[in-house]
Structure 1
Amino acid sequence: MKIRSVAAAALCMNLMHAYAVPPVAAAGPNANTAGERRIWMAVGERRFSITLADNQAARAFAAHLPLTLDMPDLNGNEKHAKLPKALPTKDSQPGTIRVGDLMLWRVDTLVVFYLTFDSPYLYTRLGRIDEPASLPDVLGRGQARIVFTRE
């Protein structure tokens, strides 16, 4: 009887371990965790966290960091800059662009949107600034030097 209860206990422990291991740990070292999907954007003294999209373009963008870009204003709603290297694309028409969207236009133009508006253009989503409310004030009109980093 004692052998059965030890075997049952061992089986229970194995089952508990199988279901208690967090999915990130179970997925191994190549897992795409939230921490791996977070990058940072600095404008002067202001720092913003960005959650990257789960796609090839966002991973390629993150692989090129750190990156400092002088980004001129366009249309009073976005900053844009040509990237040093083309990224993979998967264009879609978002329709409504939201404040805080980080997008790729064509294969090599990074766009940071600081106002919400409707757009007919095609973009590849790279990510989203987590708390974008102050972006219109921080980015304003004119050129902005923006630093993108992993930490």
Structure 2
Amino acid sequence: MWMVVGEHRFVATLSDNVTGHAFAEMLPLTLDMAELNGNEKHADLQKALPANASRMEMISNGDLLLYGSKTLVVFYKAFTSPYSYTNVGRVANPLGLAHALGEHDVRVQFLEYK
């Protein structure tokens, strides 16, 4: 799929799991994502997705994860985390992702890759 932030377009691959498939069914999707902790953007989805959370020792730049069953999180910095997430997908080449997302809340579009 495409993840579009302003004029920046990133290719993202959805996970081959029930969560990734359920997210794909929601496309196209536009979310106003809030800034948190200087390393992520997050937004609540209109409906819950199937979740199978596990603790991830390392979060990577470009990870698309689900917190709980309704909160989509886009990470733009790598760090260790004590929290549990469900894998939704990953930005294929996150170079420039942190710059595109910026330091404030941002609107992000998720579109089918065509």
Q: Which entry has the higher C-alpha Rg, 1 or 2? A: 1
Q: Secondary structure at the match of 1:131?
A: coil
**Which stretches in structure 1 are left out of the alignment for 5+ residues?**
1-38
Aligned to 2:91: 129
Aligned to 1:45: 7
Question: 1:71-150, aligned counterparts within 5 Å?
Answer: 71-150=33-112
- Would you say how many aligned residue pairs link Structure 1 and Structure 2? 113
- Runs (4+) of structure 1 exceeding 3 A deviation are none
Percent identity, aligned pairs only? 53
Higher RCO (Cα < 8 Å, 6 or more apart)? 2
Gaps of at least 5 residues in structure 2 are none
Post-superposition offset of 1:107: 0.3
* Separation of aligned partners in 1, 2:6 and 2:101: 10
* Residue 65 (structure 1) aligns with: 27
Letter of the 1:61 counterpart: F
How far apart are the structure 1 equivalents of 2:87 and 2:46? 18
TM-score normalised over the length of structure 2: 0.97
Distance 1:92 1:40 in 2: 26
After superposition, the CA RMSD in angstroms is 0.6
Deviations 1:95-137 (A, max 9, x none): 1100000000000000000000000000000011001021111
Greater helix share, structure number: 1
Question: Is the partner of 2:55 in helix, strand or coil?
Answer: coil
